[in-house]
Amino acid sequence: MKSILLPALSAFVITAAIPAVAMADMHKGNHYMEKVDTNKDGKISKAESQAAHDARFEKMDTDGDGFVTKEEGEAAKAKMKEKWKEMKDKKGEMPVE
């Protein structure tokens, strides 16, 4: 009896965690929708999508010359990687290396 209890309990815990992980991913999608859907009509238009893209580009173009150099791209990637690491650390997960 004891030999089956631990595997059964482990399977239950893993199965119960799957919806929580899925909900966390859905929350990220909802956050994106809230941020990009600027007129709050529940849809993202091509113009709203382009505006979000332009804003990301402007953040990467640190010298403001209208171009993203390899160095600026690498710096943006490093900054995003650090942000992801901080987010994972706050959740108590293993940091991204």
Q: What is the per-residue DSSP string for 26-64? A: HHHHHHHHHHH-TT-SSS--HHHHHHHHHHHHHHH-TT-
pLDDT of residue 18: 52
Percent of the chain with pLDDT over 70: 64
pLDDT of residue 32: 86
- pLDDT bin (cut points 50, 70, 90) of residue 15 is low
pLDDT of residue 29: 61
Full-prediction pTM beyond 0.85? no
CA dist., res. 53 & res. 37, Å (int): 13
